[in-house]
Amino acid sequence: MLLNQLGSLQQLSRAIMQPLMILPAIAVVLFVGYVLNCFGFVEASTWMQSAAKGLLDTMPYLFAAGVALGMSNNSGVAAMSGLLGIFIFYELVSEVLPTDVVIEPTILIGIVFGMMAGAIHERFHAIKLPEYMQIFGGARLVVLIMIVLSVALSFLFIQIVPGLNNVIQIIGHEIMALGSFGVFLYGVVHRVLIVFGLHHLLNNLVWFHVGSYTDASGSVYTGDMVRFFAGDPTAGGFMAGLFPITMFALPAVAMAIIHESREDLRPKVKKTYLTAAGSSFLTGITEPIEFAFLFAAPYLFIVHALLTGVAMWITFELGILHGFSFSAGAIDYIVNLHLANKGLLLIPIGIAFGLLYYGIFRFAIQKYQIPTPGRVEATLLDDMAGDLLHRVPLIIQALGGKDNLVDVQACITRLRLRVRQEKKIDRHALRMLGAAGVLRLGGGHVQVVFGTYSEFIRDEMVKRLQRDSKQVSFVAPLQGRMIPIEDVPDTIFAKKLVGDGVAFIPDKGELVSPVAGLVRHIYPTMHAIGIETKEGVEVLLHIGIETSGLNGSGFQSIVKEGDEVKPGQLLIKFDMAYIKKRGCSLVTPMVITNSNRIASWSKAPFTIVKKGQTSVLSIVLHEDGHGGE
């Protein structure tokens, strides 16, 4: 039950991310206005500041549309319905309430109408009415229901919003009254919620509802972030302490991971984690580093969460105020420094925390032999850039296939998915494909952390899911290690004269079927078997090299010609010790003998695989079913 609730909350958290995308734009506009003012362009500076103020004033409406988008798989009808709802609310407020009672637009109200619009869309957008009523069906029905319910909800809000606003103000005042302890508590909880992707719910309360500020024109702004950009000299206490962590502490963790990696794996680890450190420093995106030790050493993540709280407590006690529009990285630090108070003090504090983190993590990794990336090869986070598009079919396969995916979304650092059956997800395969972590939140809600490539992966996944192409996926036929076909110690296979594919070095004498298909041929010596899939793909599995000379000794066929087989079904048992003793290589090629039919290939990283489980290959056939030579 709790997991189902977490799944629903993560969907809401993802939806809240949509309107937050405007905040970096507001920060840039304010910075440009500041620079123009410094060079004497006062009128132009005023225009830029007015534009930023206008954007801040529209935030409730943006949340109504953005949350509706996020809750409805980016439906434009839902977004329009969310805007209709909040427009109706404020129209009724101005008509019904006495002139001396004012309800200011709030982001919370925008979120409520966005959630309602998203829920109505998901429930009613596919409903078909009788033919004579169908003009009101589908998208029109969503809009109609939203209008009616918005009127009802607006009258309810008119009764409770003043009291609700008071409650929010009280909560905000209580958090503010806690002083440095409140900031410490926020820092700790914020870090913990990142694990579940729910930190935006907490941020929404603190950034948009804690504290109140009235500017010279009488406009009222609430929330630490909004007040900071509106010019409140007391805002920024809940954001300043995050800069030392994202700009210095977590990059120091990345350096500790690099320095504790094995020498043979260090070049690849260095490339990956220097990139992650740069991303954390510049943009404040920290998940690729945090997930590198979250699952391997959860207690270190607890230490990290506590130290984040300590950093925020220190900055608050020193009166340091700074803010960001996106995340606490160097870009936001520089762009918003003109609005900060004692912002330069964050640099020495950050350096001190960087040294502290580096020492703690190097000591812990050495002392407790924590399997961080590069210490054991199976945990290595591969570089995604080079073959990203080729991995996407394998990622889909590792997620249980096209039919298992209900909803595919992404935020900046992770895929946010809804699947039909969580048990079909291959976590090991996803790790091998570059995922830093996989979180199951219940109710079919799953998050896969791919770092800053997540949005690109999502876009490519959607393209491939919508494309009606013939695709065949393969799992590992053996337990062991996958290697390139070019590394097979046999010229015929290595030069792809039989066909293209991959090969395996087994550590267990069992060959299983990599695909669903029909056993077309079993060699009399039982060292090789041919399978044909329903799409007509011909697969040859050849156990070892020069093993035909054994005349069947050491081999036992479990299936016979004409049998239908499923992925992972046992085909042949073989005696590894006997084959080795006879001087034969155990390298086992898996090739497609009619490779001319293949339009594109997607091969998994060449590493350790589990028979019948690990996704190793995905192919797309030519649309005409034939292809050229």
CATH code for the domain of 444: 3.30.1360.60
Mean pLDDT of 314-336: 90
Q: Say whether pLDDT at 385 is over 70.
A: no
Q: Could you tell me if 462 and 491 lie in one domain?
A: no
Mean pLDDT of 150-163: 80
- With residues binned 3-state (H G I as helix, E B as strand, rest as coil), the percentages for the chain, rounded to 5, are 55, 15, 30
Dist CA 310 CA 162 (whole Å): 36
Q: Could you tell me if 330 and 408 lie in one domain?
A: no
Q: Is the pTM of this model over 0.85?
A: no
Q: Could you tell me if 26 and 157 lie in one domain?
A: yes
Helix, coil or strand: residue 346? helix
- Please say which residue of 161, 177, 193 terminates a domain: 177
Q: What is the pLDDT of residues 520-531, one digit of tens each?
A: 999 999 999 999
Q: For 338-400, where are the alpha helices, taking DSSP H only? A: 346-368, 388-398
- Asked about 584 being catalytic, the answer comes back as no
- Please say which residue of 424, 440, 466 terminates a domain: 466
Q: Could you tell me if 497 and 580 lie in one domain?
A: yes
So what's the pLDDT on residue 521?
Answer: 93
C-alpha distance from residue 439 to each of 29, 200, 558 (Å): 37, 17, 38
pLDDT band at 97 (very low <50, low <70, confident <90, very high): low
* CA end-to-end span of the chain: 56
Q: Could you tell me if 273 and 409 lie in one domain?
A: no
In a domain, 167, yes or no: yes
In a domain, 230, yes or no: no
Q: Could you tell me if 355 and 401 lie in one domain?
A: no
Q: Could you tell me if 596 and 494 lie in one domain?
A: yes
Q: What is the pLDDT of residues 182-222, one digit of tens each?
A: 899 999 988 888 776 667 777 878 888 888 888 888 888 88
Q: Could you tell me if 249 and 288 lie in one domain?
A: yes
Domain extent for 83 = 10-177
In a domain, 15, yes or no: yes
Please name every residue paired with 446 in a beta bridge, in sequence order, or none if there are none: 417, 440
In a domain, 94, yes or no: yes
Counting the structural domains of the chain, the total is 4
CB 45 within 8 A of CB 34: yes
The catalytic residue among 15, 30, 255, 411 is: 411
Highest mean pLDDT pick, 16-25, 299-308, 437-446: 299-308
Q: Could you tell me if 421 and 312 lie in one domain?
A: no
Strands, E assignment, 12-107: none
Q: Token match 């219940």: residue?
A: 442
CATH code for the domain of 572: 2.70.70.10
In a domain, 379, yes or no: no
- For strand 538-542 and strand 588-592, is the pairing parallel, antiparallel, or unpaired? antiparallel
In a domain, 196, yes or no: no
In a domain, 192, yes or no: no
Q: Could you tell me if 454 and 497 lie in one domain?
A: no
DSSP designation for 374: T
Dist CA 568 CA 176 (whole Å): 59
In a domain, 2, yes or no: no
Q: Could you tell me if 88 and 30 lie in one domain?
A: yes
Q: Token match 């609310």: residue?
A: 89
- Count of H-run helices and E-run strands, the chain: 22, 20
CA dihedral 11, 57, 214, 207 (to 10 degrees): 20
| Amino acid (one-letter) located at 20 | L
- Please say which residue of 466, 485, 519 terminates a domain: 466
Q: Could you tell me if 360 and 433 lie in one domain?
A: no
